[in-house]
Chains A and B, each alone.
Chain A
Amino acid sequence: MARWAEIEETEVHAEAAGGPTVAEVLEVAHAAGLTLDRARAEALRPLLQGLLAAAAALPMGAAAEAGWLGDPYDAARGPHR
């Protein structure tokens, strides 16, 4: 389980390290069915890079500590449920 967590974090770090290029932003947007011009892709690129870096910086701890997703409402419902 720990190894999967390491792999996942490594992938996120790799994305965040260089960040997406404008061409990649356009490519992903196109695949998602969004119409973006280059100026909009250029505006989105640093924002996307910032969020990817923020995701990479989350201190996940060991996989068992963070838990797997399971029920996505677990955290919001708290331990009283």
Chain B
Amino acid sequence: MSAPDAEVAVLSASDLATRYRSRSLAPTEVVDALLARIARLDGTINAWITIAAEPARAAARASTDRHLRGRPLGPLDGVPVGLKDNCDTAGVRTTCGSRILGDRVPDRDAVVARRLRDAGAVLLGKTNMLEFAYGNVHPDRGQCNNPWDPSRTAGGSSSGSAAAVAAGMVPLAVGTDTGGSVRIPAAYCGIVGLKPTFGRVSHQGVFPLSWSIDHVGPIGRTVDDVATLLDVMATEGGGGGPRVPAAAAAGTLAGVRAGVLRQHLGDDLRSGVRAAFERALAVFRDAGAVLEDVQLPTWEHAEAAHILVLAPEASQVHAGWLRTRPQDYAPDTLLQLQLGALLPASAYLSAQRFRNRMAAEAAAALGRVDVLLSPTVGFVAPASDPPLGSELGQLEGLRTGAHCLLGLPAVSVPCGTAEDGLPAALQVAGGWGRDHQVLGVAAAFLRGCGWVARLPPELR
């Protein structure tokens, strides 16, 4: 028997675990319901590249057996998860949203996929993404649309992961973030996305965009779910910190020293997003947090340093295909890759060295405050994903690139609605290895403003 998909769609991973324990719902029922929901909605959303229906059903049956025997493997046993299509999955096509790898079927799992399977999670399929996570939709894959307004983008590059979670097709998903690619689509889709501390989640088996700033991160509808997924994904010794979910549940804003990045409140910020951010600051203030303005002068150059690191590294990854298969890239991806191949080493090395200055400045600030607050993006979801080099593309990543350069943990959480009734988002960042603290503050903020995870009205 299948549960009605709309009923299952609203359940968090934590809700599912509770129902599995009480045997009021089985993983097989949930997987069938979500597959039916995807079949019903994905023609509009386009969140998935590959649905692994039969492997998912088999994994759900095995999980159901474990639950019936009272021996689940952990909090994610039987919980469906979507995986961005740049994470290798043994026996399941992994395209990176590209034509070049359109038929590639890896024979090994990425570490993150393996850890999820070992925890009993059900890998439901591979989610749509911008081509090679580099800012542009490949026409073979098409744009992933925003569940709150399908005439707009879900954001990128982890577009499918965010949209699938926001549309209730899956409670959790994995994304990657090299300049904002978990946090930006999470912001546009009104959900929670974490870029963990650099190295906390293994990159092994994840196709690189820019290896010195790539991060793998969890996406969900609640902070607790994101914390639980991080806990499963995280590599031993990869960033430290106590077990995350407990810390998230215990988070409080009272006494938190929160630095407000005033330089991220510039003229580009749309009035609705600014108002939502100011309301978020009021929640912190009312709950007893201590707010202070923070200025990080080197971060004014973060956007330049970011592209000067990213572009040559990405072009190096693609050096072979740039010579042999240039016609198979989307036009803007090809342009970006060619540009990076032409940059002199001195420019790349200047940016790499500059990261040290940025890190020193951030470390000093994070000695004075616990977290740094800013809007995640200055505007709501646009119609389509702006190319990296365009004015809108530069503004889109203005508040998220620095955290990748420095490896700081940063989470995007909803903070109300802004222009056209679409979601606005707050970014909470913290010191290296303090992922648990960042999540704890984010959870406390959401409790403080009475936010309840919900699906877009048309998709309920």
Select B359's contact among A9, A54, A60, A79, beta carbons within 8 Å: A79
Q: Report whether B359 and A55 are in contact in the complex, using a CB–CB cutoff of 8 Å.
A: no
Q: Report whether A58 and B352 are in contact in the complex, using a CB–CB cutoff of 8 Å.
A: no
Q: Which residue from chain B places its CB closest to the CB of A12 in the assembled complex?
A: B346
Select A73's contact among B198, B347, B404, beta carbons within 8 Å: B198
Q: Report whether A78 and B323 are in contact in the complex, using a CB–CB cutoff of 8 Å.
A: no
Q: List chain B positions with a Cβ less than 8 A from chain A.
A: 197-199, 212-213, 240, 297-298, 301, 304-305, 307-308, 311, 319, 322-323, 326, 335, 338-339, 341-344, 346-347, 349-360, 363, 389, 404-408, 431-433
Select B338's contact among A44, A52, A77, beta carbons within 8 Å: A44
Q: Report whether B432 and A52 are in contact in the complex, using a CB–CB cutoff of 8 Å.
A: no
Complex-state Cα separation, A11 to B298, whole angstroms: 22
Given contacts A35-B326, A36-B338, A78-B408, is CB(A73)–CB(B350) below 8 Å? Answer: no
Q: Report whether B407 and A77 are in contact in the complex, using a CB–CB cutoff of 8 Å.
A: yes
Would you list 14 pairs from A and B whose C-beta atoms are within 8 A, ordered by A residue? A11-B346, A33-B323, A34-B341, A40-B335, A47-B389, A67-B353, A68-B353, A74-B356, A75-B358, A77-B198, A78-B363, A78-B407, A80-B433, A81-B432
A18 within 8 A of B: no
Complex-state Cα separation, A61 to B297, whole angstroms: 12
Q: Report whether B341 and A32 are in contact in the complex, using a CB–CB cutoff of 8 Å.
A: yes
Annotate A30-46 by CB proximity to B: 1 below 8 A, 0 otherwise: 00111110001001100
Q: Which residue from chain A places its CB closest to the CB of B305 in the assembled complex?
A: A58
CB distance from B417 to the nearest CB of A (A): 34
Q: Report whether A65 and B357 are in contact in the complex, using a CB–CB cutoff of 8 Å.
A: yes
Main SS of chain B's interface residues? helix
Given contacts A15-B344, A57-B304, is CB(A76)–CB(B355) below 8 Å? Answer: yes
Complex-state Cα separation, A35 to B349, whole angstroms: 26
Select B213's contact among A68, A76, A79, beta carbons within 8 Å: A76
CB distance from B345 to the nearest CB of A (A): 11
List chain B residues, Cβ under 8 A from A69: 349, 352-353
Q: Which residue from chain B places its CB closest to the CB of A58 in the assembled complex?
A: B354
Select A80's contact among B335, B349, B360, B432, beta carbons within 8 Å: B432
Q: Which residue from chain A places its CB closest to the CB of B304 in the assembled complex?
A: A54
Q: Report whether A77 and B432 are in contact in the complex, using a CB–CB cutoff of 8 Å.
A: yes
Complex-state Cα separation, A50 to B45, whole angstroms: 36
List chain B residues, Cβ under 8 A from A8: 346, 350
List chain A residues, Cβ under 8 A from B360: 65
A17 within 8 A of B: no
List chain A residues, Cβ under 8 A from B433: 78, 80
Given contacts A29-B338, A44-B342, A59-B298, is CB(A54)–CB(B406) below 8 Å? Answer: no
A23 within 8 A of B: no
Complex-state Cα separation, A36 to B213, whole angstroms: 29
Q: Report whether B347 and A12 are in contact in the complex, using a CB–CB cutoff of 8 Å.
A: yes
Candidate in A29, A57, A66 with the most chain B CB atoms within 10 angstroms: A66
CB distance from A80 to the nearest CB of B (A): 4
Q: Which residue from chain B places its CB closest to the CB of A70 in the assembled complex?
A: B356
Q: Report whether B346 and A76 are in contact in the complex, using a CB–CB cutoff of 8 Å.
A: no
Given contacts A75-B407, A77-B199, A78-B431, is CB(A60)–CB(B353) below 8 Å? Answer: yes
Complex-state Cα separation, A78 to B358, whole angstroms: 10
CB distance from B265 to the nearest CB of A (A): 22
CB distance from B19 to the nearest CB of A (A): 39
Q: Report whether B304 and A72 are in contact in the complex, using a CB–CB cutoff of 8 Å.
A: no
Q: Report whether B338 and A66 are in contact in the complex, using a CB–CB cutoff of 8 Å.
A: no
List chain A residues, Cβ under 8 A from B359: 74-75, 78-79
Complex-state Cα separation, A57 to B304, whole angstroms: 9
Other than the given A59-B354, A75-B358, 19 more pairs (CB < 8 A) read A8-B346, A11-B346, A29-B342, A35-B326, A48-B342, A52-B344, A52-B347, A54-B307, A55-B346, A58-B304, A58-B305, A60-B354, A66-B353, A69-B352, A72-B212, A75-B359, A75-B407, A80-B431, A80-B432
